[in-house]
Structure 1
């Protein structure tokens, strides 16, 4: 996707170890998500409502796994 201005990526504020699987998030008309370790790879884009639902499910561990890990 081409944009007029570059996205401002937010990195995680908490990491539990050096081999963490982390993502970066950028807020635009949609929410863009990319892998911190492979920034050149594809970027996923979801609506703000979908992102909010995902974050809500992740923080309350409603993603199917009792540990909260997807």
Structure 2
């Protein structure tokens, strides 16, 4: 259970870093900020599911497994 949520959190961290880099590109600031807002919403959803004892994969990137 912990390993599952650790993997999901790590995926969100990597996505947040990538989208943060996008927001530094001229004319891409708004897109990067919107993507970071989506990551924040997904993080809150992950926290809620972890508190409830559920394993819900993230949309799109949830199938990627960095930690086995």
Q: TM-score, normalised by structure 2?
A: 0.35
- Greater share of strand: 1
- Greater share of helix: 2
Higher relative contact order (CA 8 A, sep 6+): 2
